[in-house]
Structure 1
Amino acid sequence: MADVHADGGPLLHVPDDLTIEQFILYEQHPVKPRWYDQRPVLIDEETEREVGSDELRARTHGLANALKLRWNIGHDDVACIFSPNHIDYVVALWAVQKLGGIVSTANPAYTAEELVYQLRLIKARILIVHPWVLPVALEAARTYGITPDRIILFDPVAGLSFDNIQDLVKLGLGQVQQFTPLRLSPGDAKKKLALLSFSSGTTGKPKAVMITHYSIIANLVQIVQYLDLNNESVPIERKMYRPGSVSLAIVPFYHAYGMHMLLFGNMVLKSTIVVSAKFSLERMLRSIQQYRVTHLCIVPPQVLLLCKSPMVKNYDLSSVYFLMSGAAPLSAELQEQLVRTLPDCIIGQGYGMTEIATGVTHIPHDRKVATPGSAGVLLPGFVARVVKPDGSLAGYNEPGELHLNTPSRSLGYLDNPAATAETYYDGWIRTGDEVILTARKELFIIDRIKELLKVRGFQVAPSELEGHLLDHPDVADVCVVGIPDDFSGELPFAFVVLAQGAQARVQGDPHERTRTKEMLLKHVAEHKTAYKRLAGIEFVDAIPKNPSGKLLRRVLRERARAMVARGQLVVLRSKL
């Protein structure tokens, strides 16, 4: 099979002289829906506060002016946003970018140690923080060297003197404009960084992906061109987005799926976004009913709750006509359960990666429910090749690693040429995913060639956990693998070879053996965010390796899964 070009015709013009904000709020691109109304752009789930497009423009301007006045933020200065979803998240994003700055978003579940790693790599100048995670931010800031006067809270907190976005917007709107908004010449958007988004790439510790304004805009054009919403030959009831649509934002904005697809994508699609700061099933169900939500973009663990929880029957979900699952594979069995839960809904999966910025596939047009197990069909503008282990190209329905070429690709990894060379080549990106591509341009994910685990849709690099465990004096060798879990998709599990002294200590002493396992589990839990915590540990005499010393991870993964199937492993599950 030669290179496969996506259907949908050639990609329409992608502006290369606009910022993300300018494209979404100001550009009249032909792919954008022609319908117009005065409905809000954003709604805060808890307070019911509404923000329209005029207020969004004004708040972005005001905050940008204040950032210039107070900290002289300018070209290529980096701001880190450390927060759950917030109605002013996009205001903070665009205010920094309006000044020519770059934004890096951090997982609000991070420990201080993990946040310090990100701050150091991106060389952050300011830190924009939600009050919920301020203690972690302060600890990380002290270690990294950000002074308290460069920490900005999303909301004011009584008794604390930190600057906050609400007051800064007022300050900026009350002062004469002190900045020149970023203006790009033709071609500049392909070079101007907008985001440093974190991904583990194909292996190793998290890396900062360099994403340009053009990358995001190109992917938005790909998605909206595919949806073809201005095609008058298609009845409105068959379109995937319609006037008056409402999307519930429970996928976190710091994640590429949440920011690029849900936040930016729904703004372009003129779908009101209900911003949820924290997921709970009951809160999601109440919001669907209260706000008459039409669109859900969620992850497999949330699909599982939607299918399994008895409380679902207590709520009216009839407004939902579109549901996409992403960030991790959704099993065919779970999709079938979802169809029974939402029988009148368009249902399917999407596939993407941060390095592509972000969407690669979408739910097919030609059926209400996607093929079970399918990750969707390629978006316009994508070229795919499926590469066998020997380097030859696979045919349709033959497995191999997916390589992609797209105008939305990012530039590489910040200050990491080795990792960039491993993933990026000649305009192509190696995804690290083993796939099958059908003649209908439909994608099926078989396995990950790369060693990353997907826990609740989040990337977990086994090597990161292995390195941390090897720092413990009781550990001589270790291999971390993923074990299947209905809720999380996968969970990290460690096979550990104990150091000589520890081996002697646990020999013949079941109590000490248990205590040592608990100690190692705690060693990880105290330094890593919840979804990276180990689901269990098994002591072994040796880690299998090939002659060159590479871990034979697949051998231990199969062993762990067999042990789970036989009930020989006790699996620990971290709380959401």
Structure 2
Amino acid sequence: MGIASVFRQSVARFGDRVAVESEDGVRLTYRELDRLAAGVAALMLRRGVRRGDRVAVMSDPCPGYVAVNLAAAKLGVTLVGINTRYTAADADYCVRDADAKLLFFDDAHRDVLDGVTGFADAVELTLPTLAATDATGLVETGRPEDIHTIIYTSGTTGKPKGAMISQSAAAIRALRLVSSFGLTGADAFLGWLPLFHTSGEEPLNATFLSGGRYLTFRRAEPGPLVEAVEHRGGSWTWLLPGMSAQFLDLAAARGADLDGLRFAGGYGNLLPGRLLDDLLGRGVAFVDLFGQTESSLLIAANRIDTPGTREWDKYPAPLLDVRIVRPDGTEAGVGEPGECVVRGPSVMSGYLNQPDATEEVFRDGWLHTGDLLARTEDGAVRFVDRKKYLIKTGGENVYPMEVELAVGAHPDVAEVCVVGVPDDRWGETVKAFVVLRPGGVADRAALDEYCRGRLAGFKRPRMIEFIDGDALPRSTTGKVVRAELGSRPVREEHRV
């Protein structure tokens, strides 16, 4: 079964329920959204788009974007989401790489299109435009094996890589979320993350599979999210770095009632302890996730309900084989860090136009995630770090996350990011970029003293640079872009 089939069944079951709702009051039922998507599919056909072709979208989340997504599924056309934070050159690269026949765009990103020339035709993403084409007699040609979306990954080295996700893989990912989170028709997802990311795409499909509502937000701002929980029935969302503090601090300042929020998902190791305890203290559960674009947003997860929890053990998700292996491919022992490799029906079909990169990550039928995990006695897995973030200093291995957890536990520290930087003596040394809380007074000497006894000597940061939270470079999902921090000049005044 593919995404087209999932939505067709949902229309039959939930036709008059609201399927998608924007912050400016646009509400479409499943039946209305289906008619709009059919009209968009007819528009695509009139513009010469056929099954197997690709169309691109450069837009913030909105009901029109959702309709284009479903229209593509109906026809077996591949949807290529373009990161709205890309420069014109980056956007043009993706459009050309995908050989997009048609580009949908919203008014907010019209200026970027002046530098994008790799498409044959363009359509502005307004509801009147999308609804203008008669869909009478439309024949749906989409199949489960068709590539549904191409999601371009961050591209920390070189150009972004387009991960190809089939309709059947997308449906399995949706089923995994519904099953793992117990989603029902009473749920409403706060869709503040972009639909060109798997963190926006997978909850969309899971929402439709379960008959719920998808609430779209054009901007990642905490005010509308708090309001949506209090007054629009928002019941689950992601709380990622950056947004988590803004959302919870604003809710506290307003005295907002968050009782309707059943749970929030995110990366537990990146969420400051005070924020996690604040969330749990309000009766909102936190689901600690591990996943990736190439295989699934949900490779492993664990639900946390008790304040004070700082253990990040997660359990492998259903419908996915998960192994932890050594460099030679043998199984790593309990507690031994190894690379996480996965296999299952939700895994991507490969990288678009990059056979070498595809061959590099697929070995013996297993997708190599590039993440280091360790297995516990009871079968859970514990995230250690990204393989490429490993710091080698004086022949010793240092995992940045371990250092970040130690430094981040200091009461004056709001956020920390650890990278390896060149060092004449040790090859690499550990550097911490530290954001202090308002009123925090800790200096380098205080943080160094705090880490003694908590970290081995070779793991302690030898360089500490204090930085404003707003100055941390972030991806569209709120993660700190380590490569940008690691490339900054090394200055002696930052040495401890």
Q: TM-score range by the shorter chain?
A: 0.7 to 0.9
**Greater mean deviation of Cα atoms: 122-131 or 265-274:** 265-274
1:323 to 264, 268, 283: 264
Matched to 1:199, the amino acid is T
1:281 Cα deviation after fit:
1.5
Q: Tell me how far apart the structure 2 counterparts of residues 435 and 25 of structure 1 sit (CA, whole Å).
A: 39
Corresponding residue of 2:455: none
Corresponding residue of 1:181: 140
Corresponding residue of 1:252: 194
Q: Determine helix, strand or coil for the equivalent of 2:242.
A: helix
Normalising by structure 2, report the TM-score. 0.77
Q: Which has the higher strand share?
A: 2
Cα deviation, 1:345-391, whole Å, max 9, x if unaligned, reads: 22221221111143212334xx6359634263211122111113454
Corresponding residue of 2:75: 99
Q: Determine helix, strand or coil for the equivalent of 1:89.
A: helix
Is 2:1 aligned against 1:42? no
Corresponding residue of 1:170: 132
Distance 1:203 1:568, change over 3 A: closer
Q: Determine helix, strand or coil for the equivalent of 2:193.
A: coil
Q: Tell me how far apart the structure 2 counterparts of residues 202 and 389 of structure 1 sit (CA, whole Å).
A: 22
1:543 Cα deviation after fit:
7.0
1:79 Cα deviation after fit:
0.8
Cα deviation, 1:87-130, whole Å, max 9, x if unaligned, reads: 12121112123222111101111111111121121111111111
Corresponding residue of 1:573: 472
Corresponding residue of 1:368: 305
Is 2:56 aligned against 1:84? no
* Structure 2 contact 20–213 (Cα < 8 Å) conserved: yes
Distance 1:339 1:311, change over 3 A: closer
1:380 to 301, 313, 318: 318
1:219 Cα deviation after fit:
2.0
Q: Tell me how far apart the structure 2 counterparts of residues 58 and 330 of structure 1 sit (CA, whole Å).
A: 41
Q: Tell me how far apart the structure 2 counterparts of residues 83 and 488 of structure 1 sit (CA, whole Å).
A: 30
Cα deviation, 1:141-170, whole Å, max 9, x if unaligned, reads: 3xx3x35xx111112xxxxxxxxx522422
2:238 to 297, 310, 325: 297
5 Å matches for 1:511-526? none
Q: Determine helix, strand or coil for the equivalent of 1:21.
A: helix
1:51 to 14, 28, 36: 28
Q: Tell me how far apart the structure 1 counterparts of residues 225 and 336 of structure 2 sit (CA, whole Å).
A: 40
* Structure 1 contact 78–103 (Cα < 8 Å) conserved: yes
Distance 1:21 1:560, change over 3 A: same
1:487 Cα deviation after fit:
7.3
Cα deviation, 1:548-570, whole Å, max 9, x if unaligned, reads: xxxx6xx25x1355997578535
Matched to 2:31, the amino acid is D
Distance 1:201 1:279, change over 3 A: closer
Structure 2: 5+ residue runs without aligned partners? 392-399, 435-442, 449-462, 479-496
1:286 to 221, 227, 231: 227
Corresponding residue of 1:559: 431
1:85 Cα deviation after fit:
0.6
Structure 1: 5+ residue runs without aligned partners? 1-14, 156-164, 228-239, 454-480, 496-541, 547-551
Q: Tell me how far apart the structure 2 counterparts of residues 115 and 376 of structure 1 sit (CA, whole Å).
A: 36
Q: Tell me how far apart the structure 1 counterparts of residues 32 and 197 of structure 2 sit (CA, whole Å).
A: 25
1:202 Cα deviation after fit:
8.8
Distance 1:397 1:213, change over 3 A: same
* Structure 1 contact 403–428 (Cα < 8 Å) conserved: yes
Corresponding residue of 1:23: 6
Cα deviation, 1:188-247, whole Å, max 9, x if unaligned, reads: x24x211111125795431011111111112223333445xxxxxxxxxxxx43552222
Corresponding residue of 2:369: 431
How many residue pairs get matched?
A: 431
* Structure 1 contact 330–373 (Cα < 8 Å) conserved: no
2:291 to 342, 346, 352: 352
* Structure 2 contact 55–100 (Cα < 8 Å) conserved: yes
